[in-house]
Structure 1
Amino acid sequence: MLVVDDSKAQRRMISRIMSRWGYHVTEAGSGEEALLACSAQRFDIILSDWMMDGMTGLEFCRALRALAQDSYAYFILLTSKSEKAEVADGLEAGADDFLTKPVAPDELRARLRAGERIVGMQRELLQKNRLLGSTLTELQKVHDALDRDLIHARSVQQTFMRERRASVPGGDVSILFRSSGHVGGDLVGWFRINTSSVILYSIDVSGHGVASAMLSARLAGLLSGAAPERNASLVLSSHARRETWAPEEVAARFNKVILDDLRVDQYMTMVYAQIDLLNGKGRLVQAGHPHPVVLRADGTMDRLGSGGMPIGLLEEASFEGVDFRLSPGDRLFLMTDGIVECPTPGGEELGDDGLIDILRRKKHMTSGQLLEALTWQLAAHYGSEDFPDDVSGLLFDYLGPSSA
């Protein structure tokens, strides 16, 4: 406790009463002396006379509140003033309570107990804030570590997409991949079966984030052209020649892998296409994925497939193969639903018609330029480049048998 009064008699009287109640009391004969004491020591409760020579109690209270302290002192003004305006001045200066002089011991004790409750709550709050600050610091460390891991995971995931631009005999491949977070569940890619055939695929794993990324990473291993012995779509013949299951059979095999081997709660959608580079004939399976689009050399657009069931939902699901044919100059576009379902700020999706419109307006561009322009169009449609879902796609330019 700190008792401040320029009257030594008044000061001593209050100090003796408080000392008998078990308080540790310090005295100050002026506001200036009290301010120096507060700078050197922390007090829980301060009783100060209002009217003093030099610095008044009101001025002392203002100066005390201006000090940068990590604890709160409960301030009681001793005064004979009772006008509402004067009381308001005291509260405005930072006083917490008032005692009318001459001080009655019972009232003084009641005011002190009220001050003790306030100081106790303030200390408890301060302790909780410190604990919260310490916890937040630890959480920030964990967050930073996770963030570093996710950044590394993203760089690893990027390697699944191989190069974004590639050429095969008879065609060129261009890839677009933008995850909505550090890592995503989309997977687009290609690999050659043999010198005359190529596989193109677009996959979207349900959900977002790490769980989806881990499943897409597993699927990337099952569609690796660099490791044919682990590729779930390839069959090695007796002459070590690469052959492949029909697209609909590949979808059925992946359905079995997810339900029987992986046993995860996720499913996936997919378009998987096989193209003969010598004649442009192709066959694909569409499993719950957006319709592939063929950008014909004459400017027309064809949508392929009829929908199909997602992979990994039902054991008895069946998948249907779809035949198509590319002519030299045609382009096949595979994409995930992050493109066609990209919303406006009001929630209106781009849709198949919106995508066709963009492709028609940008058909004069090269495939790399078209994918870049599509990304900008989606950002303008959504109102931000931070898309709500992964955005990925693959454009295959069929150059014809002479190139092959």
Structure 2
Amino acid sequence: MALSRILIVEDTPFPRAILQRQLMQMGYEVIAVADGTEAWEVMQNEPINFVITDWLMPRMSGIELCRRIRREGFSRYVYIILLTAKGDKNDLIAGLEAGADDFMVKPCNPLELKVKVLAGERVLKYEKTLVDQNRKLELAHQQISEQFATTANNLKLAAKFQKALLPMESATIDQMKFESMFVPCEVVAGDFFNFFKINEEKTAFFLLDVAGHGIPAAMLSFTLSHVISPLPFPPDAQHLGHTGYGFLDFTHPTHLASRLNQIFEVRSDGQQYFTMVYGVIDLAMEQVLFTQAGHPPIIYLPYEGEPCTIGEGGFPMGIFPNTDFDIYSFDFRPGDRLYLYSDGVTGCFDPDGQSYSTERFMDLLAHHRRGSLREGLVKLKQALIEWRGSDQFEDDLSVLAVERLPDPSQDRNHLAVDLSELD
């Protein structure tokens, strides 16, 4: 509010008239009243922000008027000059404590009055600038808060959508039991996994990990979840997935990997890439074929035997053209298990900076080998939280576990648990 009007409060008519004339000659509109009570009524009804008041007045003194103005807490700042015939320091202190900004000794010298009023006007201008800036900051803060709330709601919806794209935590396809664990380090994740039946003999599975975290990684993860999808297709062509870029051969891991690398390499600047394990379980051959693109190896846990890793890494997808992907295979018989996982699991760091490691992961799986797949994943999550010392992780955690169940036509006795092994 620019200074245009000044309220003067003086109970003596002649000094009041002189003061009013001096201020009007300086270019200000003046409202003049005889005491603090009249001044208070004006303050209630007019946007006055500059007051020059006498100290001693009937009904309400200048000191009391100062106190009321400060107690009222107007939205505007009111600059107050207190007129006094006193020069005692204690009186000046009392005036400051009541809320006065400045003092003048009566009778008012015109030059001193001008200097005092101009100083007060500068204070009010600075105050107005500060108020305007605060209002702008409040508005900006409100807008940012609204945008943040909108973004947070959108992220929650995206997280629900991403979770809906993932398969059920527990599922059975023919003689395979699938269990999974998915723990994003942020609202949305760059990890994705899935499994699906290709034909009567073959079932596919994969787990991928997009470099980075948060929204950018999740966007590519969403895209990949649709690209590496066999549905919807006619029954006689379920082994092919049309992506808009060509066909994917879901029956052959290395062919699929090479095609994906071609698709995403030409659309990548080398900064966004992903790692993946893609495999096919062939029940007729009792075998698993898989390829690995810069991803951690598969952990294979035979029913009778120690866990081991299979796969030597390879190059991630979306970086190098014409990359050759190796094919790996191993037997997969009733009771055997395999585990796919993102590097957030083995690369989970404790407070001292030590990683959880593949060795600890395999030890845990071996220890809980006679429990259910779900039990093993629950134990793994608990172990990672204890290792981390927190349930907040630096990277996404994903695990896809597969167990070959016994054929109903087979003798189940060879899968019976030896009680001595539980001791």
Q: What range describes the TM-score normalised by the shorter chain of this pair?
A: 0.7 to 0.9
Task: Give CA deviations for 1:306-362 in whole Å, capped at 9, x if unaligned.
Answer: 222211111143322232333432321111123233344565443334434544555
* Residue 35 of structure 1: aligned partner: 40
1:311 aligns with 2:317: yes
Return the match for 1:283 from 278, 284, 289: 289
1:392 aligns with 2:385: no
Structure 1 window deviating more from structure 2 (256-265 vs 218-227): it is 256-265
Q: For 2:182 and 2:274, locate their aligned partners in 1 and report how far apart those are by CA, in whole Å.
A: 17
Matches within 5 A, 1:8-19: 8-19=13-24
Q: Is the 8 A contact 1:279 1:400 kept in 2?
A: no
CA shift for structure 1 position 395: 0.9
Q: Is the 8 A contact 2:266 2:318 kept in 1?
A: no
Q: Is the 8 A contact 1:285 1:320 kept in 2?
A: yes
Structure 1 window deviating more from structure 2 (43-52 vs 306-315): it is 43-52
Q: For 1:265 and 1:403, locate their aligned partners in 2 and report how far apart those are by CA, in whole Å.
A: 51
1:59 aligns with 2:61: no
CA shift for structure 1 position 248: 3.1
Matches within 5 A, 1:86-97: 86-97=91-102
1:194 aligns with 2:199: yes
CA shift for structure 1 position 51: 4.0
Q: Which amino acid aligns with 1:43?
A: I
Return the match for 1:172 from 157, 165, 177: 177
1:52–1:161 CA distance, 2 compared to 1 (3 A)? same
Q: For 1:247 and 1:265, locate their aligned partners in 2 and report how far apart those are by CA, in whole Å.
A: 25
CA shift for structure 1 position 401: 4.8
Structure 1 window deviating more from structure 2 (179-188 vs 16-25): it is 179-188
CA shift for structure 1 position 256: 0.8
1:374 aligns with 2:414: no
1:127 aligns with 2:132: yes
Matches within 5 A, 1:46-125: 46-53=51-58, 55-82=60-87, 86-125=91-130
1:322 aligns with 2:328: yes
Structure 2 unaligned blocks of 5 or more: 1-5, 242-247, 411-423
Structure 1 unaligned blocks of 5 or more: 237-241
Return the match for 1:210 from 215, 240, 244: 215
Q: For 1:363 and 1:100, locate their aligned partners in 2 and report how far apart those are by CA, in whole Å.
A: 94
* Residue 224 of structure 2: aligned partner: 219
CA shift for structure 1 position 299: 7.3
Q: Is the 8 A contact 1:335 1:394 kept in 2?
A: yes
CA shift for structure 1 position 257: 1.0
1:40–1:244 CA distance, 2 compared to 1 (3 A)? closer
1:24 aligns with 2:24: no
Task: Give CA deviations for 1:172-220 in whole Å, capped at 9, x if unaligned.
Answer: 0112223333332211111122222222111111223333222222211
TM-score by length of structure 2 reads: 0.82
Q: Which amino acid aligns with 2:297?
A: H
Q: For 1:259 and 1:307, locate their aligned partners in 2 and report how far apart those are by CA, in whole Å.
A: 18
Q: For 1:343 and 1:200, locate their aligned partners in 2 and report how far apart those are by CA, in whole Å.
A: 28
1:13–1:192 CA distance, 2 compared to 1 (3 A)? same
Q: For 1:176 and 1:276, locate their aligned partners in 2 and report how far apart those are by CA, in whole Å.
A: 24
Q: Which amino acid aligns with 2:334?
A: P
Corresponding residue SS for 2:266: helix
Structure 1 window deviating more from structure 2 (21-30 vs 361-370): it is 361-370
CA shift for structure 1 position 142: 4.0
Corresponding residue SS for 2:135: helix
Q: For 2:263 and 2:143, locate their aligned partners in 1 and report how far apart those are by CA, in whole Å.
A: 40
How many residues were matched structurally? 397
Task: Give CA deviations for 1:157-181 in whole Å, capped at 9, x if unaligned.
Answer: 2232122211011210112223333
Structure 1 window deviating more from structure 2 (359-368 vs 267-276): it is 359-368
Q: For 1:207 and 1:403, locate their aligned partners in 2 and report how far apart those are by CA, in whole Å.
A: 47
* Residue 270 of structure 1: aligned partner: 276
Q: Is the 8 A contact 2:272 2:318 kept in 1?
A: yes
Task: Give CA deviations for 1:225-282 in whole Å, capped at 9, x if unaligned.
Answer: 32358xx99459xxxxx97453233222211110136778520011112222345422
Corresponding residue SS for 2:198: strand
Q: For 1:245 and 1:10, locate their aligned partners in 2 and report how far apart those are by CA, in whole Å.
A: 104
Q: For 1:348 and 1:38, locate their aligned partners in 2 and report how far apart those are by CA, in whole Å.
A: 69
TM-score by length of structure 1 reads: 0.85
1:323–1:93 CA distance, 2 compared to 1 (3 A)? farther
Q: For 2:48 and 2:369, locate their aligned partners in 1 and report how far apart those are by CA, in whole Å.
A: 78
